[in-house]
Amino acid sequence: MRPPRAALARGDDACARISIHQAAGRPVIWRAHARARESMDIQFFIELFFGGLTRGSIYALIALGYTLVYGIIELINFAHGEIYMLGAFTALLVAGVLGVYGFPAAGILIIAALAAVIWCAAYGFTLEKVAYKPLRGAPRLSPLISAIGMSIFLQNYVLLAQTSDFVPFPRLLPEMEFLEYVNYVMGPSDFLILLVSTLAMVALSLFIRFTRMGKAMRATAQNRKMAMLLGIDADRIISLTFIIGSALAALGGTLIAARTGQVGFAIGFLAGMKAFTAAVLGGIGSIPGAMLGGLVLGLAEGFTAGYFSSDYEDVLAFALLVLILIFRPAGLLGRAAIQKV
């Protein structure tokens, strides 16, 4: 039996109302999806931003060693990346020993970082006395070759003393409950690296600007002969420069080892080359330039990896180096050298 025509009409009207409601709801759903997608894009951008800052802070710590040494004696210390690697391995060995004796994780990390800083500062001091001081009056190519030779020596020394494989670094970072609301963009390792790097760079800036030794370093960088005539011990200042730069590199090595959870003998080469790129980008010889160059390079790599592919990170770093050398050799904050004729 067929239903009455009125019932069919009411059914058609109900279907029509459902269709109208569905059609009216589609823009609402689309707007909701658009808002969710926009929120995810913003969250992803913030995550990449803080990741780039974290990476850039490590580059800045290493780049400060390059720029300090170059500012004093105009030498590119290509063995500086290996000091960074030695700092990571020193922290690993100290952390392993302290872990056996049951020290708390936070205490192990602090002691391991201090040990790495002291040990690598001694390495930097020895490196300057053995490889660079005897060549101070030689042609500029000689200390450069010596720096490359020391880089290869230190890398192979660690390869033979340790292993060619990556070695796991113990998990030492404490849980930070106050980061639970932002842990989707910044973890404990990112926060610790940003905090420690910022404090180290601020402390270095204050040291260079206000202390007696810092003023002596600036005077030696401007004119070494005049500084010596004024009674400044240039040899002592140069040694201090290597000590400070090596200590900062060791600190960076410890922080990045705690973040990545592994250490390898070859980690210093690429990190050192990128830090050198950061120093040139900011203006080698300029302390603020090294900091700025490291942060700019870290952010550029982070956004490139996030929006394109991590395969292009190294390409971007060295493309920036080539471009800055072509179009602005003095760097972002550096000053062009004035040559007397």
Domain positions in the chain are 60-174+183-275
Its pTM stands at 0.83
Q: Minimal CA–CA distance to 278: which of 337, 242, 327, 321?
A: 321
**Which pLDDT belongs to residue 56?**
92
pLDDT band for position 314 (cuts 50, 70, 90):
confident
Considering only CA atoms, which of 248, 287, 252 is closest in space to residue 71? 287
Write down the residue that tokens 């080892």 correspond to.
Answer: 257
Q: Is the distance from CB of 334 to CB of 283 less than 8 angstroms?
A: yes
CB 57 within 8 Å of CB 294? yes
Task: Write down the pLDDT at residue 161.
Answer: 87
Q: Is 307 exposed, middle or buried (0-12, 13-18, 19+ CB in 10 A)?
A: exposed
More confident: 25 or 68: 68
Rounded to whole angstroms, how far apart are CA atoms 253 and 263? 9
Query: What are the tens digits of pLDDT across the range 40-82?
Result: 678 888 888 988 999 999 999 999 999 999 988 888 899 999 9
Strand partners, 9: none
Q: What local confidence, expressed as pLDDT, does residue 257 receive?
A: 92
Report the Cα 96 to chain-centroid distance in Å: 25
With 0-12 / 13-18 / 19 or more C-beta atoms within 10 angstroms meaning exposed / middle / buried, residue 199 is: exposed
> pLDDT at position 31, please?
55
Mean pLDDT of all residues in 215-230: 89
User: Locate tokens 């203006």: which residue?
Assistant: 283
pLDDT value, residue 335: 65
| CB contact at 8 A, 53 and 292 | no
What's the chain's average pLDDT?
83
Q: Is 313 left (phi over 0), alpha (psi -120 to 50) or beta?
A: alpha
- Give the pLDDT band (50/70/90) at residue 92: very high
The band of 215, judged by pLDDT with boundaries at 50, 70 and 90, is very high
- Of all residues in the chain, what percent carry a pLDDT higher than 70? 84
Give me the helix-helix angle, 212-222 and 188-210, nearest 10°. Answer: 80
Give the Cα separation of 202 and 57 in Å (integer): 12
27 confidence band (pLDDT: 50, 70, 90):
low
How sure is the predictor about 182, in pLDDT bands with cuts at 50, 70 and 90?
Answer: low
Residue 322, Cα to own-chain centre: how many angstroms?
A: 20
How many CB atoms sit inside 10 A of residue 147's CB?
Answer: 20
Phi, psi values for residue 167, rounded to 5°? -110, 130
pLDDT band at 319 (very low <50, low <70, confident <90, very high): confident
Task: Check pLDDT > 80 for residue 26.
Answer: no
